[in-house]
Copies of this chain bind each other. A is one copy, B any other.
Amino acid sequence: MSDFRFELLGCDGAARTGAIHTPRGDIRTPAFMPVGTAATVKAMLPQSVRDTGADILLGNTYHLMLRPGAERVARLGGLHKFMDWQRPILTDSGGFQVMSLASLRKITEEGVRFQSHIDGHAEFLSPERAMEIQRLLGSDIQMVLDECPALPAEKPVIEKSLAMSMRWAKRSKDAFGQQTDEEKVGRACFGIVQGGTYADLRQRSATELMEIGFDGYAVGGLAVGEGQQAMFETLDATAPHLPADRPRYLMGVGKPDDIVGAVLRGIDMFDCVLPTRSGRNGQAFTRTGALNLKNARFAEDTAPLDPACACPACRQFSRAYLHHTVKSGEIIAAMLLTWHNLTYYQDLMGQLRGAITEGRLESFVAGFRRAYAAPES
């Protein structure tokens, strides 16, 4: 029934480039998904997000279920119409945010009871409810509900959590399978590999998910404090066990060099609040590293933020202007730096796709690392 389809177009070592075909448009991979938490990519209009090169957005089930509510979004015609984004949307299952934001959490085999961080309202999220919410939102790629234990954790803790996450994955897939055929057309359900930093648990998790069978496979529970080295080692132990003909998504990652390292290890999809959140905090990613625009040394710097960037912040304004507006707490600073950071991330993804296609990923990565880590001029 589904016309959701991953097409692998090229490889360079373990790295892959391809396209995910969906009824709402293609997603070029490796892909970076800007985070549209509460039905908006913060400080951006939807057309501007598209102009940066984004093919797909991520929406947060946790935030949307609390406000404005999944049933309300459905009555208003679905998330795409509500937020004026007609291209694909991936929604997480809400599990990660419940663990990090909600209070009075009580996790049982059935699901998670918690209180809304907005108004203290009692809420419940189960695998079935997580899929129902994502169906109501009209999500194109729906994620199974999983538990995300904080790292580092003892192996028995991770193992017990993993076992429940795998049972929840099966229940999520079953619930997705019960969506009506019309709803399901072109929609995908992704499983999430857990297992902390334990290679054998990650492998077991991958195997069990493949037995259930998903349209794509995410790697979850990373970038939660384990460090880049441990994250890369975990990817090395996981990615080779995932099917080559399905997209692989590393959840919540990350810094530009995290993404480059993960692409080298065969990851196809990413999301992270870093470019948007940093933009609101006066931080900019550039080809020569990250800049803090609050710094007084930019007060009379007439240079553009990143001369190689074509975004409005770089084309129309000086670093001095960005410094002034950041220091003054002006909304335009958040608008311009978010736009720039998202452009930087999408440019990086485009460069990675090009380098993989042309078989020159190694030299691209070497150049990226030299420039990105260079002391600032």
Partner-B contacts on A (CB < 8 A): 38-40, 42-46, 67-68, 72, 75-77, 82-84, 280, 299-300, 302, 312, 316-318, 320-321, 324-325, 327-328, 330-332, 334-336
Contact = CB atoms under 8 A, between A and B. Distances in A.
A65 to B, nearest CB: 13
A42 B332 contact: yes
Contacts of A83: 321
A84 B313 CA distance: 11
**A38, A44, A317, A332: residue with the most chain B Cβ atoms closer than 10 Å:** A332
Contacts of A299: 68, 72
A263 to B, nearest CB: 30
Contact of A76 (B67, B76, B320, B334): B320
A320 B43 contact: no
B317 A75 contact: no
A316 B44 contact: no
A300 to B, nearest CB: 6
6 tightest A-B CB contacts, nearest first = A43-B331, A40-B332, A84-B316, A68-B324, A38-B328, A40-B330
A332 B43 CA distance: 5
Given A76-B318, A82-B320, A299-B72, A325 B45 contact: no
Nearest to A318: B76
A320 B72 CA distance: 10
Contacts of A318: 76, 82
B300 A72 contact: yes
A324 B45 contact: no
A40 B325 contact: yes
Nearest to A118: B328
Contacts of A335: 43, 45, 331, 335
Given A76-B320, A321-B82, A42 B327 contact: no
A215 B75 CA distance: 58
Contact of A334 (B75, B280, B317, B331): B331
Contacts of A46: 316
Contacts of A334: 331
Most buried by B among A44, A83, A317, A335: A335
Given A300-B76, A302-B77, A84 B331 contact: no
B77 A38 contact: no
A332 B82 CA distance: 13
Contacts of A317: 84
A39 B76 contact: no
A337 to B, nearest CB: 12
A6 B27 CA distance: 55
Contacts of A44: 332
B316 A39 contact: no
A182 B71 CA distance: 64
Nearest to A72: B300
Given A38-B324, A67-B324, A68-B299, 18 more contacts: A39-B321, A39-B324, A39-B325, A40-B330, A40-B331, A40-B332, A42-B331, A43-B331, A44-B332, A45-B332, A45-B336, A67-B328, A68-B324, A72-B320, A84-B316, A84-B317, A84-B321, A331-B334
A317 B47 CA distance: 13
A198 to B, nearest CB: 39
A77 to B, nearest CB: 7
A314 to B, nearest CB: 12
25 contacts: A38-B324, A38-B330, A39-B321, A40-B325, A40-B330, A40-B331, A40-B332, A42-B330, A42-B332, A43-B332, A43-B335, A44-B332, A45-B335, A67-B327, A67-B328, A75-B300, A76-B300, A76-B302, A76-B318, A82-B320, A82-B321, A84-B316, A84-B317, A331-B334, A335-B335
